[in-house]
Amino acid sequence: MAMPRAKTELRTLGNTGLKVSAVGFGASPLGSVFGPVGEDDAVATVREAFRLGINFFDTSPYYGGTLSEKMLGKGLKALQVPRSGYIVATKCGRYKEGFDFSAERVTKSIDESLERLQLDYVDILHCHDIEFGSLDQIVSETIPALRKLKQEGKIRFIGITGLPLHIFTYVLDRVAPGTIDVILSYCHYGVNDSTLLELLPYLKSKGVGVISASPLSMGLLTEQGPPEWHPASPELKSACKAAVAHCKSKGKKITNLALQYSLANKEISSVLVGMSSISQVEENVEAFTELERLGIDQETLSEVEAILKPVKNLTWPSGINQN
């Protein structure tokens, strides 16, 4: 195997003892949710990511209605490296058919995920987008079921994910310390929305590892633009489009800048970026090494921040209303 061109660093994830790559591999695109991706491309993308030092892979049974897990499983198997060489997170409770955070469903779900991933265990099992369920059920039923899975060795660590930030404090305030190992927040630590910053001291005080996803705001900060299903308001979409156009006019890549912005905060252990081609993997790892070498392009960042100022921290509703 040829020597890697660039490498991303490993960062400690909370109290788990896991060392995850700063650039994490978001596998939702492997479920063809941003456009079709063939199996050969999926396998080659995973291989290139691993070759360039990415050891952390995130998926869910929800992505592409189980397709992402299957594709990732094939990619990981093709690596032909010891299982301890990579870290896999999947999720439970959210499916193509809808949400179900019952103990029975999540207990069955992990067996299905392990089969699709062709693995004996996953490193992290997240409750997926808990704002769509009852947070009290997450505390009293789902998390205890996941603790059993931990004892059985099917999962090593427990996480929760979702969009509104208050869900994390709600649940973490109601479980014993050390019960929830990590949280996964998305679209809240990027150039257009950095509200996760306020929560970092609290998460640190709880010893919870922090994973931040969607540095490109699920495609808003890319030249190809967001997918059809993107929930942002027209105002946010057009401001991001203007920021993309500005970078392009300067011969700069907005994806580089946006990813570097997220990666620069070392309190975030891994930034999950969705990737489905070798060139995206190479560009994103290169963005990390460039950040380490040269720092962020402050001039372009200030210009982009000025364009995005009217929509800064503007998000969208997610989940069912509950206190």
Alpha helices (H) along 102-249: 103-117, 135-137, 143-151, 166-172, 200-205, 234-249
Do 89 and 58 touch, CB atoms closer than 8 A? Answer: yes
CB of 272 to ligand NAD, least distance (A): 4
Give min distance, CB of 318 to ligand NAD, in A: 9
Supply the minimum distance, in Å, between the C-beta of residue 24 and ligand NAD: 8
Residue number, 97 or 228, with CB nearest to ligand NAD: 228
Q: How far is the CB of 322 from ligand NAD (least distance, A)?
A: 17
Residues that bind ligand NAD (CB under 6 A): 26-29, 34, 58, 128-129, 161, 184, 186, 213-219, 222, 255, 272-276, 280, 283-284
Straight-line distance from the first to the last Cα atom of the chain, in angstroms, rounded to the nearest whole number: 53
Residue with Cβ nearer ligand NAD (134 or 153): 134
Q: Is 222 helix (H, G, I), strand (E, B) or coil?
A: coil
Residue 58 or 123 having the CB closest to ligand NAD: 58
Instruction: Let me know if 63 is a catalytic residue.
Output: yes
Residue 251, Cβ density class (10 Å: 0-12 exposed, 13-18 middle, ≥19 buried):
exposed
Tokens of 221: 């900060």
Query: Residues 11, 13, 17, CA angle at the centre, nearest 5°?
Result: 100
Distance separating alpha carbons of residues 98 and 100, to the nearest angstrom: 7
State which residue, 38 or 80, has the beta carbon closest to ligand NAD. Answer: 38
Catalytic residues: 63
